[in-house]
Amino acid sequence: METFIADFVDYLRVECGASANTIQAYRGDLASFSAHLARHGIRTPNRIQQSHLLSWLAALKDDDLAVTTIARRLVAAKMLCRFLVNEGYVVSDPTASLASPALWQRIPNVMSPAEIEKMLSVKCESPIAVRNRAILELLYATGARASEVAGLALADVNLDARYVRCFGKGSKERMVPIGGTTSDVLKDYIAGARKTLARRRAAPNLFLSYHGRPMRREDVWRAVKELAAQAGIAKRIYPHLLRHSFATHLLEGGADLLAVQRMLGHADVSTTQVYTHVDRNRLVAVHKQFHPRA
């Protein structure tokens, strides 16, 4: 199981922008899960059954661990199993019917529009800087994941019709519209910086490395981090934070939840509903401001 857990930890670090402390916590929780599976002769994910999870949780309880610790470990196992399904390692999720404690349903962090504008306003002179700005523009305009942006081909971007064709988890295809500003930024990048980076290579990818090769999701993460540093933003900025901001800002502006679900590529609207906290917060603020007895 160690190889699969390592892949999952890499996903947390690169795709989700998890902090070092968070990654360390998940490693510890999943090491406990892996050790329990090994004691039952389970070394590959396709053999994991719900009974193994239940016996693991029972063993944790027998060890007198705190309820919150057991809940956290269950969440780690559920996230791992969901990742294994999404990556095609297993067909079904053995944790699907195990309810996660409500206390672990965290509200996503988001950037403010002013912070995003500050990053997009960084002066870009080199081809790499122009590329990084185009990556940031596209991440925020579409809510796409880092891996989806890294995998985009030139043919996936229709700047005249103003849409991008993204391929999400399980190679599910979705069309996401882009605005005129984003379209113009991409046109400038393709006509200028990308030609320089291509170095006469025939790479089909939209975004290229310094040596003209296709970018990886780690490279997209690094590009966003560099722009944040140049903009003087101290807090941790990562691609998935822009995805959270995309969804939050749309809902805050009155967008339909189902439309946001389709643009994000969520299979279940319940996954998108985590972003509706914005509407509640805004209503509380309005109530406090205008209600005579607030």
Packing angle, helices 20-39 and 2-14, rounded to 10: 160
Angle, CA 74 vertex, CA 71 and CA 70 arms, to 5°: 40
243 is an active site residue: yes
Would residue 162 show up in a list of annotated catalytic residues for this protein? no
Dihedral of alpha carbons 261, 267, 273, 274, sign: negative
Which of the residues 73, 174, 194, 266 is marked catalytic? 266
Strand order across the beta sheet in which 157-158 lies: 157-158, 163-167, 173-177
Q: What is the distance in angstroms between the CA of the first residue and the CA of the last residue of the chain?
A: 54
Which among 169, 187, 262, 277 is annotated as catalytic?
169
- Ordered alpha helix ranges (H), the chain: 2-14, 20-39, 50-62, 67-86, 113-120, 127-142, 146-150, 180-191, 193-198, 217-230, 239-252, 257-264, 269-272, 277-290
240 given a catalytic annotation = yes
Catalytic residue among 72, 78, 240, 249: 240
Query: Of 217, 243, 244, 249, which residue is the catalytic one?
Result: 243
Tokens of 43: 């070394």
The question of whether 293 is a catalytic residue gets the answer no
Catalytic residue among 78, 145, 174, 244: 145
Does residue 52 have an active-site annotation? no
User: What does the alpha-carbon distance between residue 208 and residue 59 come to, in Å, rounded to a whole number?
Assistant: 49
Catalytic residue list contains 72: no
Which are the catalytic amino acids? 145, 169, 240, 243, 266, 275
